[in-house]
Structure 1
Amino acid sequence: MIEPCIREVNGEAMAEPWYFGSECDGGFAEYAVVSSNHAHKIVSEFSDIELASFPCSYSTAENLLTKSNVKAEDIVLITGASGGVGSAAIQLATARGATVIAITSPEKSQEILDLGASKVIHRDESIVRTLGKNSIDVVIDMVAGKSWTELLDVLKPGGRYAVAGAIAGPLVELDIRTLYLKDLTFFGCTVLEHNVFANLIRRIESGDIKPIVAHSFALDKIVEAQEAFLEKKHIGKIVLAVSAS
């Protein structure tokens, strides 16, 4: 499996990491060249399609949990829980022993509970009214948007907020007093911590987490795959098969 956060190219360290398939090409290639530091052997009975669902979303989720130091005694609130990163974060936080509360749509609630969440909040519910202020240790956010201030309200004093997305809107309003009076810590999470991908491999091999493949399409059906993605009816990942075999 290839670590998607590329720090080394042609034997030289990058000043700023690339992401495989983003800053560097190769995401749709059948063969690609990558530094051996970023190529990880994995022993698993999962198929190639199932394994392909792990690298990007699950490493992002593990990075969010690593930077915010999620521990077994923590209560963790996860937004965007039905997406690739959100559904991965549920499994990975549960594997750490944390208690997970997830935000999703009503029609996806049972599947999110089946992944390991102990409680589900629907998107149109008031987070503060449902959970109460100062009730959450860590917020894992992929959404932001108009309800963002509630995420800080439910954090306990000394709470941690980690973010890797803004699908509901990137502009939010922050009362800076909330940040300093509650001694909150914010984590922006893009570049992977050095141990994140190796830890993810161990989780896969030990059976702590499972792939969630909603659909799989051949590469020449990429338009259909993108249309399915935009419908937002799926949970987990949509995978492209780049090899005819």
Structure 2
Amino acid sequence: MTTVETMRAMRITRHGGPEVLEAATVPVPAPQAGEVLVRVAAVALNNTDLWTREGAYGNPEDPQALSGWRGPIDFPRVQGADVSGRVAAVGPGVDGDLVGRRVVVDPAIYDSGGPDANPVGLMGSERDGGYAEYVTAPAELVHDMTDSPLTFDQLAALPTAYGTALGMIERGRLQDGETALVTGASGGVGLALIQIARARGARVIAVSSAAKIEAVREAGAHEVLDRARDLAGQIRAAAPEGVDVALDVVAGDLLADGLPLLREGGRWVVAGALGGYGAAFDVRRLYLHNAQVIGSAMHTPRHFGLLMDLARRAAIRPVVSAGLPLERAAEAQEELARRRHVGKLVLHP
């Protein structure tokens, strides 16, 4: 049991730019019944951190409304969804043998307790996250990774990016031998999609900026296309028989341009809107070709369990770009927003 009473944390008290991240000394949270207390070793950054801080998610009634991942945020809020660390203490009803184990926290808040539950909240948005020395989490969402050869930084890179990627691949039903198109390929989710799709036996065509093509190819893509050139033409040349599954975090105009490039029965899976959240397309491309457009928000508990199994075997190895101390969280978020790096940025409390 930890005897520390206070801890350092980086939190937001309102929506805004990086300047709203503030350092604070706050009480160490006490694990409640069914919870564990994790001493944070590493917390990875995600676009969700930026958009939650900015309040950029909107809501169904008002797309311009300031909102966290799934609604208004209770301020102050400690950010950070992606946590690896060691269990420091357990609450009532939790096996004490977990203390000292290396763990990864599933950051999702689910709508039910089943293996196919949907995420309806996120650590760092709807509850306090890992931009701190300690964080609490439900014991059933804490996965023992003591036997994994991955480092704490690599483990922290897994939950949101790789969880989102595996959720997309599972919902898109990507199979061995199929052709997958990956957009935004140099980002955290994009690199995860490449690695997991390759592990499935798929042929991977990735889309990236020219400056990052070699890094994306090194991550495992079979072909890498320059997003600044005639993208539809490049995709047709790379996949003349069509794409089986598009794994898309860009959306916008790409969705309309890309649907005709699917094979019969193809699936276009959307899990982001880096290119804009407004999209219009010809619905005939759906019903005449038995195509599907599938929304994918993160992962289910079953997906996350599959991801942890991959990580224990080191079948995937996240790329970590840089690590910074917790107090430089605002600087790290600014660097994330510039999108000049390849791989994950990680904070060390």
Q: 1:94 to 1:25 in 2, by over 3 A?
A: same
Q: Does 1:200 align with 2:307?
A: yes
Partner in structure 2 of residue 29 of structure 1? 132
> Within 2, Cα distance between the matches of 1:201 and 1:16?
17
Q: What are the within-5 Å matches in structure 2 for residues 197-236 of structure 1? A: 197-236=304-343
Q: Across the two proteins, how many residue pairs are aligned to each other?
A: 238
One-letter identity of the residue aligned with 1:27: G
User: C-alpha displacement at 1:127, in angstroms?
Assistant: 2.8
Q: Which runs of 5+ in 1 are unaligned?
A: none
Partner in structure 1 of residue 243 of structure 2? 136
Aligned partner of 1:118 among 222, 240, 260: 222
Residue pair 1:4, 1:55 contacting (<8 A) in 2 also: yes
TM-score by length of 1: 0.91
Residues 14-23 or 80-89, more deviating: 14-23
4+ aligned runs moved over 6 Å, structure 1: none
Q: 1:120 to 1:20 in 2, by over 3 A?
A: same
Q: What are the within-5 Å matches in structure 2 for residues 76-95 of structure 1? A: 76-95=180-199
Aligned partner of 1:4 among 95, 107, 110: 107
Q: 1:16 to 1:194 in 2, by over 3 A?
A: closer
> Within 1, Cα distance between the matches of 2:341 and 2:324?
14
Q: Does 1:97 align with 2:204?
A: no
Q: What are the within-5 Å matches in structure 2 for residues 131-170 of structure 1? A: 131-132=235-236, 135-170=242-277
Between Structure 1 and Structure 2, which shows a larger proportion of helix residues? Answer: 1
Q: Which runs of 5+ in 2 are unaligned?
A: 1-103
TM-score by length of 2: 0.65
Aligned partner of 2:293 among 180, 186, 191: 186
Q: Does 1:68 align with 2:172?
A: yes
Between Structure 1 and Structure 2, which shows a larger proportion of strand residues? Answer: 2
- Give the structure with higher Rg (CA): 2
One-letter identity of the residue aligned with 1:113: R
Residue pair 1:134, 1:153 contacting (<8 A) in 2 also: no
Residue pair 1:138, 1:155 contacting (<8 A) in 2 also: yes
Residues 194-203 or 129-138, more deviating: 129-138
User: C-alpha displacement at 1:28, in angstroms?
Assistant: 1.4
User: C-alpha displacement at 1:139, in angstroms?
Assistant: 0.1
User: C-alpha displacement at 1:189, in angstroms?
Assistant: 0.8
One-letter identity of the residue aligned with 2:139: S
> Within 1, Cα distance between the matches of 2:273 and 2:233?
23
Residue pair 2:264, 2:289 contacting (<8 A) in 1 also: yes
Partner in structure 2 of residue 172 of structure 1? 279
User: C-alpha displacement at 1:164, in angstroms?
Assistant: 0.7
Q: Deviations over 1:187-227 (max 9, x none)?
A: 11115223111111111111211121111111111121012
User: C-alpha displacement at 1:50, in angstroms?
Assistant: 2.1
Q: Identical aligned pairs, as a percentage?
A: 34
One-letter identity of the residue aligned with 2:300: E
